[in-house]
Structure 1
């Protein structure tokens, strides 16, 4: 299955899970707010984010392919001194596990919002919790697919849902008939004090730290030889560009909204109905539901790979440590979603952990991909290092700003 592309046989692989992971309700919400508040002027930010994501994910995938282990396992094995090892493992586990639990709650809540736009079901009060039937459905579906322990099945489900997301959001964008001139202007970089935090959010929701762990582990499991590097790279590029197109479509759709205030994709869908009819609402609703359920499946999987890799436990999805970790993340996400905490607040907490983790993981990756003992002839070339170091500087600045912003809001 696949087709020839410049003598490289292309068939969708783990890259589809990376796309499914970063196009979640958080991305939908951030892109919506960017479009509503700034029109098309931040399209360039998404283009930059996609380029940075491709570069970092390629490095992580290359490590997984050549070393035949996931990023968490590589960090545990390569940092031999007790202080550096425990510090690295501790920070990674803390940020990924707590961040993914918060993301999971936002994923479940966001997916439920999409379903609520089409079907209305009352909340079920129970012991102080407000249980949402759609949230339970998303949690159960995610658990069933992950518990089945079949990567091929998960990949196929993800591919179908990513296609649904693509069709939904890109169709909605076409329905708004954006001006080609305005679209081209949006790719000219503009910076100001007003849009800086939105720029940080757009990059932060695309370059997701836990995707680096997820991708490297899945590549190590899927491909067995370094000779498959071209296929790995093609899968990475195609998948992430598709994810970028989805994000661009959401922002373009939101820019067409004439609502005074839009705080979520649900508000966007309702605001577009008077101008473009109920079809626009259904496109956003279906896309939001698909985004929620795909991310609800990948967040527990990524957290499990990190925990098991850091402690040297088996990383097969059917192993007890993997299943226990995935179950804990799923249950924590469902519990937080039932507390009535607004998705924006959950996403804010996740951004705090992202801000801490992203420059740290980027630094680790840059160190590892330059080690001949790990990658041999596949280690970074000078041009890779220039691009990688530039991205590290950007992630350090953006991570610091996002942490300071969250702390300011809390104080």
Structure 2
């Protein structure tokens, strides 16, 4: 199989996913409360076996899942993606004990995961994060003796206190655990960051929801000397940036797949509308300006899809060019989806702006992916950096 075609079995699976999303997931999504975790929806994703595939399938399968679900139910797509984003560091970098405790619950839809990287002053510039992980002296330090997490740690086990804030964290503050990135070595940039697995019930960890344009839950987290130990580290101390980038390199193409799914839904709605809408003595589709606009929407959507598939295939093949390809796929697909959804709204007219209309929903959903997991400007920076590095290596 190449990056430019799918096998019949893959196409059939995508069709099955779209049907499941429409028939079983859409009704649960409609019962959810915007801005809050829809645990019934997550549990259904688990019962369908889709959450388990997050950790047993490759990047291309992840992209096919996200595009197919997004086409019929963006809420289900987002719920699945956030489980993967928050728990992938545990799957890829966690200890046997961490994986055994959390991953079965994640895949069953019984535990909600979250990826806590962004901060008020360090969104796109993740290497500048300021959440502090300060070394704790242990039980002799006074307060540490009151905390089970520290008191239960074996002698000689490294201990830290997390102090600071995370912001714009999807699934916060309702997640059951967080993959948290904190600075363990001041002034070391990306090389002084450590990833921690932090259960939501740790003392000193509080959060609040944020009222955002996107309908899925997004919040801020406050860390007031939250205790963590070496048993909570994901990967190695001071190597957490590798955990973050390894996770984002996998999920960035699949953000593009999410965008492609929305673009395709908007395109199909536009085809149906312009083919059936009477205007100016004929059908809208008969106007050259409209037909050319629809052709442009289709062209860009297909180009984005192909780039997403190529990036995912490169990841699955362990291609060294993954960072550039992932950035390109995420950039092109999210910018394309914004264009296609906006054009679809324009061709539908005022009806597309009514609450409850598919395009009104997509218009709100499509904006955020151009920012999260690295804004479009960050993706351009990654692409340029990789290109110049290759040039210098010749």
TM-score, reference length from structure 2: 0.30
Which is strand-richer, 1 or 2?
2
The structure with higher relative contact order (CA 8 Å, sep 6+) is: 1
Larger Rg belongs to: 2
TM-score, reference length from structure 1: 0.29
